[in-house]
Structure 1
């Protein structure tokens, strides 16, 4: 049995969970999320909390136990509180702006980079160098943040690039001159 899979999932008051066959739907203040649960995983609601069980105790089913418990917990947390990722632009002339349904990044290239904001993700730019991303789906939020970051990952010599909030870039010494 998975240690994480055994933990109950507390359901907040403003979250509705419905399970019809393998389809799980979680509705809350910030949106609705859907997921398909395999037949080997069972879900029970007891006293305002969800318990995820394994029906058949095989190796592959035990491997899915903790995974689906975490996925369901992220769905409940996302629709009740939302997830947030903050990106910082470090570099001379690096800036971002939101125009309609896209984010425009000036990252030192000869052209601005324009990325379409996916459905369900809200983007806020603070002081041209800080990007706040919010969404109820943790997977899509992380994927979009890594897509933005892939245009200028942090480099160790000058420390320039797109960094996550609180990330520290370990700096390297540059070339030393001839002796």
Structure 2
């Protein structure tokens, strides 16, 4: 039995879950999320908590057991608390700003990069070198953060680029001087 899959999911007082045969819908103060279900997993709600089980012991069912437990847990956490990723920009002249709900990035290219986030994602720029990405869908928040980071990944020689908060960039030594 999956150690992650058998753990119950505690529903906060604000979160409500609706379970149908092929769909799960979680509603909370921040919004609503839906997830399609597979036939190998069964979900039950009892006494303010949700448990995920599997129909049989096939390889597919065992793989989906822990996955769907975490997906539902992330949905509950997202509609109650939300998720945030923080990006840091390092480099001379590298900066970010919001222009008409679009993220404008100056990353050392000959042109500005403009990024429009999906509707359910909120982007904030507290200062020129910090970007905050927040939303209720954990996967979408991570995907938007990865897309923004991909515009200029941190390079190992000078450490310039966009990195996640707390990310450690392994630095390389430059060219050795010749004799």
TM range (shorter): over 0.9
How much does 1:59 deviate?
1.2
Q: Secondary structure at the match of 1:124?
A: strand
Determine the structure 2 residue equivalent to 1:18. 18
Q: Is the 8 A contact 2:40 2:60 kept in 1?
A: no
Q: Secondary structure at the match of 2:85?
A: strand
**Other structure's SS at 2:143 match:** helix
What's 1:129 paired with?
Answer: 129
Displacement of 1:101: 3.0
Gaps of 5+ in 2: none
Q: Mind listing any 5+ residue stretches in structure 1 that lack a counterpart?
A: none
The DSSP-based 3-state class of the residue aligned with 1:70 is: helix
Ranges of 4+ aligned residues in structure 1 off by more than 6 Å: none
TM-score when normalising by structure 1: 0.97
RMSD of the alignment, in Å?
Answer: 0.8
For residues 24-43 of structure 1, the C-alpha deviation after alignment (integer angstroms, 9 at most, x for no partner) is 11111111101101111111
- Counterparts of 1:4 and 1:163, CA distance in 2: 30
Number of matched pairs: 179
SS for the counterpart of 1:103 is strand
Partner of 1:174 in structure 2?
A: 174
Deviation at 1:119, TM superposition (A): 1.5
Q: SS of the residue aligned with 2:133?
A: strand
Match of 1:3 in 2: 3
Q: Hey, what's the Cα distance between the residues in 1 that align with 2:155 and 2:77?
A: 34
Cα distance in 2 for residues equivalent to 1:118 and 1:77: 20
2-side partners of 1:56 and 1:98: how far apart?
Answer: 51
Q: Distance in 1 between matches of 2:170 and 2:124?
A: 28
**Equivalence for 1:69:** 69
CA–CA distance in structure 2, aligned partners of residues 26 and 46 of structure 1: 15
Deviations 1:40-59 (A, max 9, x none): 11111122110000012211
Q: Measure, in 1, the Cα distance between the counterparts of 2:99 and 2:28.
A: 28
- 1:30 aligns with 30
* TM-score, normalising length: structure 2: 0.97
